[in-house]
Chain A
Amino acid sequence: MSFTDWITDARNVVFLVIALVMVGAAVVVVATRNVVHAALTLVVALAGSAALFVMLGAEFVAWTVVLVYIGAVVVLFLFGIMITRAPIGRDSVRLDHVRRWPAALIAASVFGVMAWSTTAAFGGEEISDGVLKAENIGDLLFSRYVIPFEAVSFVLLAALVGGIVLARKDPDR
C-alpha cells in the first residue's frame, strides 16, 4: 500500500494528527526543564493514547486510561513532585544527566530495531474495525479472566498496604 493510498483514508489522517501530538508531548515529557510541565504534558500523551483506543474500538480501555491515568496517576505524580520539592522552573539543579548522546543513541537503536522488525513482520496488514463494548469486556473479565482479575486486584491491595507502610512516619522516631 502506497503512502497516497494510506493518507486518503480519513481515519489515517486522524491517526497521523493524534500520533504527531502524542510524539510531541512525549518529547516534552522527557526533555522539558520544568517538572510540573512534564507531568502535565504526560496528560496530553495519555489522552492521545485514549483517542487511539477509541479508534481501535476499545472503548472501555480508553475510559480506563482517562480515569486511572489522567485522573489518578498524574495527580499522584503532581503530589510526588510537590512533596519531594523538585526544582520548578529554571533552577540551578540539573534535571538531566550531562551526557545525553549515549542515551539518545540507545533510544534510537531501540526504535530502529523495533520499527524494522514490526514492519518486516506485519508490512501492510489491515486491522478489522470491530467495536468491543464495555458490556462484553465486563462479561469476559468476570468469566474467562476471573482468576487473573482477582490476582490483579490482590496486587492493587498489596500496593495500597505497601504504599501506606512505606510513606507514613515511623512513630518510634
Chain B
Amino acid sequence: MIVNQFLVLGALLFSIGVYGVLVRRNAVLVLLSIELMLAAVNINLVAFGAFVDDAAAAGQVFALFVITVAAAEVGIGLAIVVLIFRNRSSANVDELDLMKW
C-alpha cells in the first residue's frame, strides 16, 4: 500500500463533500456533506499517521479528536436547524437571508 492512494481517495471524498455543501439547499443535507468532508480528513490523518509511524501516534489521536468535534458540531448544528425550522417553518439555507446585505 502506498500513502498516495489514501490521500487521493481523501481528496476525492472531500471534493464530493464540497460539492454537496455548495449545491444543497436543505440545511440537514449541508451538515451531511460536512460529515463527508470530515470523514475524508480522518482518512488523511490516519494515512499520514501510518506513513510517519511515530511512537506518539499523533495521526490516530487527532482523528479521534476530529470525530469528537464532529459529533459536537452535529449536535449543535441540528439544534440550530431545528430552532430555525421552528421559527421560520423552513430549513432551506437560501431562504435565510436576514443578514444578507
Q: Are A45 and B36 in contact (CB under 8 A)?
A: yes
> Which B-chain residue is minimally distant from A26 (CB atoms)?
B16
Structural contact, B20 and A166, CB atoms closer than 8 A: no
CA distance A30 to B83 in the complex (A): 24
Q: Number of contacting residues on B, CB 8 A?
A: 69
Q: Are B33 and A159 in contact (CB under 8 A)?
A: no
B28 to chain A, nearest CB (A): 5
Residues of B with C-beta under 8 A to A114? 7, 11, 14-15
Find the A residue at minimum CB distance from B68.
Answer: A152
Q: Is the interface of B mostly helix, strand, loop or mixed?
A: helix
* B32 contacts A122, C-beta separation under 8 Å: no
B47 touches A127 (CB 8 A): yes
**A76-B74, A86-B26, A159-B72 given as contacts; is B42 within 8 A of A65 (CB)?**
yes
Given known contacts A30-B33, A73-B70, A46 and B76 CB-to-CB distance under 8 angstroms:
no
B76 touches A26 (CB 8 A): no
CB distance from A52 to the nearest CB of B (A): 6
Q: How far is the CA of A118 from the CA of B15 in the complex (A)?
A: 14
Instruction: Tell which of A19, A155, A159 has the most Cβ of chain B within 10 Å.
Output: A159
Name the B residues within 8 Å of A115 (CB-CB): 7-8, 11-12
Contact of B46 among A58, A102, A111, A129 (CB under 8 A): A58
Mark each residue of chain A from 90 to 119: 1 if its CB lies under 8 Å from any CB of chain B, else 0. 000111110010111011101100110011
- Given A148-B65, A156-B68, the answer on whether A69 and B6 have CB atoms closer than 8 Å is no
User: Taking A12-B1, A96-B25 as contacts, is the C-beta distance between A166 and B83 under 8 angstroms?
Assistant: yes
